[in-house]
Amino acid sequence: MTAEELQQKCGLIGETFEIKEIVNTILQVAPTDLTILITGESGPGKEVIAKAIYLASKRSNQNLVSVNSGAIPEGIIESELFGHEKGSFTGASEMRKGYFELAHNGTIFLDEIGEMPISTQVKFLRILESGEFMRVGSSTTKKVDVRIIAATNKDLEQEVAQKEFRSDLFYRLRSVNIKIPPLRNRRDDIPLLMNFFSNEIAKKNYITFEGFSGEAYQLFKNTTWNGNIRELRNTLESIIVVEKGKKIDYEIAKKYISENDYENSSKNLPMVTGKTVEQAEREIFYRVLLDLKSEIIYLRNLIEENFGKDKDGKFLPIIKHKNESETETENKILSIEETINNTIAKLWNNSKNKMTIKQMAKILGISTRTLGNKLQELGLK
């Protein structure tokens, strides 16, 4: 497989030296059974790289089992990873295979490895070195053949210094370490990623995308992107959908990027989003609106495909006439007023305990008084 083929296959965008080097490393190490540690900040593509390793490996026709070590409660992590015997603890009514057994002959991706409890790490080290493990409640050793890929956004060296991570496991893991640089260190990939995501988002939402101005590209290139590619993608999703049909110029783009995120500004912002609380909240609510919009489009298409209205305005299954124009069909479905009412009701139900009416009105782009009246009209307030 060539570098281009691999990038194409995995949707791995990037032409900078940094990305090319990572792709070359993947091509070298993927066909071996070496354990690989992927490190990088939040959101630069650790999971994408893990999948690329799997796809370029000789185990690509076997299972890839992905496990988020950080999301499993400490009390059950060993049973989840290594399985348990029937009756080994209250509630263990059946024997259960763990993720390692499920990945036998294939690959396991252990995400957020830095979150693994220190007591579990010793068992992980054993399986990593010899493939041996014991199900919880068993005294018999079993053996699996599993290729291990691990990822973390933590500085494991620091974790070792703080005795949060075993040093023997750290040295074993880091023998092949793919370090993904933050997006701000490979800015030349930003326009490429912008075009890729924008087209994808526009297509998904059935809207047209008119492109960016040169200054807008430049602004995006100058932005810090502490949340890396994930943040870039989320920002583009808000812009493309909310500003649909417009060419995105500097002024529009600027509204969606915190001034604190422009180059040379404070680097002391929280790393996950790199945004102020107000902006992070706004982003969350944009996302609620975007999800709602996709749902509405999906439902509308579904209704259009299967139903029509009778004379009383009730929906009835129909056989669509071939010469019926698209606009006529669309008018029959949801009026703008109904769509607006649905949007307001959903935002209200999701957010009434989390934000003020003023904040909601701002997101919806209407006055506080109009929103108050609407809520009363809908019997919500």
Ligand X SMILES: Nc1ncnc2c1ncn2[C@@H]1O[C@H](COP(=O)(O)OP(=O)(O)OP(=O)(O)O)[C@@H](O)[C@H]1O
Q: How many residues bind Mg ion (CB under 5 A)?
A: 2
Site string for ligand X, 3-42 (x = CB under 6 A): --------xxxx-------------------------x-x
Residues 27-56 that bind Mg ion (CB under 5 A): 46-47
Q: Does 147 bind ligand X (CB under 6 A)?
A: no
Check binding of 45 to ligand X (CB under 6 A). Answer: yes
43 binds, among Mg ion, ligand X, none (CB under 5 to 8 A by kind): ligand X
Specify the amino acid at residue 288.
V
Rounded Cα distance between 201 and 55, Å, is: 25
What is the C-alpha separation between 294 and 203, in angstroms, rounded?
11
- The answer to whether the CB of 95 falls within 8 A of the CB of 140 is no
Find the part of the chain contacting ligand X (CB under 6 A) among 164-172, 212-220, 228-236, 239-247.
228-236
Q: In whole angstroms, how close is the CB of 110 to ligand X at the nearest point? A: 12
The distance of closest approach from Cβ of residue 314 to Mg ion in the complex, given in angstroms and rounded to an integer, is 47
* Contact residues for 189 (Cβ-Cβ < 8 A; gap 6+): 13, 14, 15, 16, 19, 183
Q: Report d(CA 315, CA 31) in Å as an integer.
A: 57
Min separation Cβ 153 and ligand X, Å: 5
Q: How far is the CB of 346 from ligand X (least distance, A)?
A: 24
Give the range of 161-169, 225-233, 321-329, 346-354 binding ligand X by CB under 6 A.
225-233
Contacts of 72 (CB under 8 A, 6+ apart): 80
**Residue tagged 């059950």 (tokens):** 76
Q: Which of 6, 23, 36, 44 binds ligand X (CB under 6 A)?
A: 44
Indicate which single residue of 36, 46, 80, 142 sits in contact with ligand X (rule: CB under 6 A).
Answer: 46
Say whether residue 66 binds ligand X (CB under 6 A).
no
Q: What's the closest the beta carbon of residue 10 comes to ligand X, in angstroms?
A: 8
Is residue 281 near ligand X by the rule CB under 6 A?
A: no
Supply the minimum distance, in Å, between the C-beta of residue 280 and ligand X: 15
Taking the least distance from each CB to ligand X, the nearer of 95 and 272 is 272
State which residue, 48 or 357, has the beta carbon closest to ligand X. Answer: 48
Binding site for ligand X (CB under 6 A): 11-14, 40, 42-48, 153, 229-230, 233
